[in-house]
Structure 1
């Protein structure tokens, strides 16, 4: 069965026999304007214009594989669909009516679609390669490929920003608090991201800022709320940390929400232990107390790298846990860790800010950051390289990962600029 997206494509580009069109009722149809694709709720195409038996109708076009999908989707009860002037279907299996019980004019496409269009589309769908258009990719224009790459990249960046938007909503759109929570989550990387977020949520930023020049007190708050001070201690630093935490916890009436055993240490190198990341977060908060500005005022990759070049306190350069020494002194964040924070924390933040302020300058900053960073190397990027795609920056690799996962694997070729160009043009 053909997907609805293919019918959208056929309608949008009029890839069917439009001469002497007849509705299923037998009435003559003339298409004046196909309308524009609607990405929001409601009918599929808005502001269309059709002529039915000499009478012009302005409104929406709804598209379904089967006419009965109108009822399956409950459009008959939705007033938003009362302005549908044409129902375009592949198979007319049922007469449909709107909420006022008026019949909807219906056009059946089966038998009208140009055979070569169907053949080229089916060729992509039947292809078992992980990139369905792999054998024909070089037959497409470079501008088509690059425009799709940028589109996929923006989609990936915006998808990553959705998690930040959830945090923002939970904080009643307090950007400073949300930026702090987001930064903490980023410092958890993949393994301890959620626990780091919970930790930040349990220690409000306004509490930390009251101790903005006292690293020891910020460490006491964070390590205490993380549950790492719920142990017997023997060294002086840990003893004083416990003592300070008890005082501050009572003073600010903090509720400890995380236990020691909830953190992940297994299969993690000491440099990535949550204890070290918390110490590094504390050092960063001391250095840059205004986290919103830390993100929003980013200009280039070098600036972010320099900002992240903070060193945890001396104790946490020589210990990986309370009372547990390291055999080798640790430094601060590695280059790889810094770039991970840029890609997964700073860039989604800028994308969210761009949408919130309706200012693409922030999105441009995000994309420029990716353009200045080295490409990731993984099985997906290697696959694209074998197909002749130049993968020279994180802009390329991130976009190609999205293209592969969101379009190639689920075979959404007809929603991809590259796939559309191949179906439209006889290159097979």
Structure 2
């Protein structure tokens, strides 16, 4: 049993309300359940109850056991002075002592307790426990086909919005650390995703040790941008090739001129293992250099667009002449076309960088259409294909349901499902999912 399930039972009133009585035998009628509270204080606020002949207005606090009220020291906390009902799964002490456990507010006045364990359908409990205990990846996959496409579509849309909200909070955390500097925040967010998972960590570290303001100062000098990026990334130590020596000279001169005190990364911090040359960190760094040269005003370039094709064009860049011919300092391409950002890489950046920064900006400035533009962008990107989305495809195939019938055959749908999977299915948090709630009705 979990407190989330107890909150679910109270919110939807999924228990037997016939002859409802408190632990002391007082008649109880629920007039208003109140609103779920995620901040400090009782779990549901603004509830209305009739207990005996008296109508009460206040909060409802939830616990699995009566003793949890005392264990959490609520009787000493003024935030719980307006609690009018203590809702519990069971009162174990009352069973042993055959009398209700007294629960008091800070002023020593008693609070009525309602025990739910004997009032909940065994069928509902069995289904909930099955969801929690199943070993399959999607707890409800056996019943997936019974859920209407409309419910699934709404679930994916809400999950997508949840993802945008969750990611925007991460962006705001960076923004706060950088004193509300959106340019620096956009730069850090971009680099955190430019490693495409395999090298995200060293890219994130690079963004911290090489500020965007330093690169903006040399935006008109492509060689110097590359020198700073590759130097701070640790690729200019002990140079062997002519171009590497040239960049090392630029880097050394700039550091000496500006009296920089720095601690750069090392080549061994970057992962080359089992990567195709097009995904080598050297290639990605060259692409970042070209991108930042093209976008000295990074924040506006990534967030101020009207149509998806505008921002897609932003990522259509060519690295410098040297990197069009090389994928490492001493290794040449067979074809120069490999040096550019590929379609899948651009789509990945649109999903994880542009859509999130666009949403974050609009939310920050309290614009009403925050989610619309991000969703508009994701609709232009084809549905992703990975291990998680393959599970979704398999479920839909077994239920004779394809992506088109969900009216979401694009990255918005797959991002929604990935969010649903990671935040609900993996954590067995079925009560945070529209589909889970529907099946538990």
What TM-score do you get using the length of structure 1 for normalisation?
A: 0.91
1:52 and 2:64 aligned: no
- Residue 34 of structure 1 and its aligned partner are, at CA, apart by 0.7
SS of the residue aligned with 1:387? helix
Residues 276-327 of structure 1 deviation map (CA, whole Å, 9 limit, x = unaligned):
2111111111111111001111334322221101010011122233344444
Structure 1 residue 402: Cα displacement:
2.1
1:409 has 2:426 as partner: yes
User: Could you tell me which residue of structure 2 aligns to residue 418 of structure 1?
Assistant: 435
Alignment of 1:339-354 (within 5 A): 339-354=347-362
Distance 2:287 2:209 in 1: 18
1:365 is paired with a residue whose SS is: helix
Closer, same or farther: CA 82–207 of 1 in aligned 2, 3 Å: same
Q: Structure 2, unaligned stretches of length 5 or more?
A: 93-100, 404-408
Q: Partners in 1 of 2:191 and 2:430 — Cα distance?
A: 38
Find the aligned partners of 2:415 and 2:427 in 1 and give their Cα distance: 18
- Aligned pair in 2 of structure 1 residues 327, 419: CA closer, same or farther (>3 Å)? closer
Against the structure 1 CA distance between its residues 69 and 252, is the aligned structure 2 distance closer, same or farther, given a 3 Å change threshold? Answer: farther
Q: 1:311 to 1:125 in 2, by over 3 A?
A: same
- Decide whether the 8 Å contact of 2:384 with 2:414 is kept in 1: yes
Q: Aligned residue for 1:117? A: 124
- Corresponding residue of 1:400: 417
For the residue of structure 2 that corresponds to 1:22, the secondary structure is coil
Aligned to 2:98: none
SS in 2 for 1:62: strand
Q: 2:381 aligns with which of 348, 373, 381?
A: 373
Unmatched 5+ stretches in structure 1: none
Per the TM alignment, residue 185 of structure 1 is displaced from its structure 2 partner at its CA by 2.1
Give 1:408 deviation, angstroms.
2.6
Counterpart in the other structure of 1:210: 217
The 8 Å contact of residues 238 and 323 in structure 1, kept in 2 or not, is answered as: no
1:332 aligns with 340
How many Å apart are 1:358 and its aligned residue? Answer: 2.6
CA distance in structure 2 between the partners assigned to 1:36 and 1:79 by the alignment? 19
Instruction: Choose from 366, 391, 394 the match for 1:358.
Output: 366
Alpha-carbon distance in 2 for matches of 1:262, 1:130:
34
Deviates most, 380-389 or 173-182: 380-389
Establish whether residue 89 from structure 1 lines up as the match of residue 97 from structure 2. no
1:104 positional shift? 2.2
CA deviation after TM superposition for structure 1 residue 80, in Å: 1.6
CA distance in 2, matches of 1:120, 1:232: 64
Judged with a 3 Å threshold, the aligned counterparts in structure 2 of structure 1 residues 115 and 191 are, in CA distance, closer, same or farther, namely closer
Are the counterparts in 1 of residues 41 and 79 from structure 2 also a CA contact under 8 Å?
Answer: yes
Cα distance in 1, alignment partners of residues 206 and 133 from structure 2: 49
Deviations 1:234-286 (A, max 9, x none): 41x33332222112112333313312221222222222222221111111111
Matches within 5 A, 1:96-135: 96-122=103-129, 124-125=131-132, 128-135=135-142
Q: In the superposition, relative to structure 1, how do residues 384 and 327 fare at CA in structure 2: closer, same or farther (>3 Å)? A: closer
Q: What is the root-mean-square deviation in Å for CA atoms of aligned residues?
A: 2.2
Q: Is the 8 A contact 1:226 1:256 kept in 2?
A: no
Q: SS in structure 1 opposite 2:57? A: strand
CA contact (8 A) 2:60 2:84 kept: yes
Deviation, structure 1 residue 66: 1.1
Structure 2 length normalisation: TM-score? Answer: 0.88
Farther-moved stretch of structure 1 (123-132 vs 97-106):
123-132
| Residue 102 to residue 183, structure 1, CA distance change in 2 (3 Å) | same
CA distance in 2 between counterparts of 1:170 and 1:322 reads: 35
Q: C-alpha deviations, 1:377-428, integer Å up to 9, x for none?
A: 233323222332433211111111222232233332233222222222xxxx
Q: What residue number does 2:96 align with? A: none
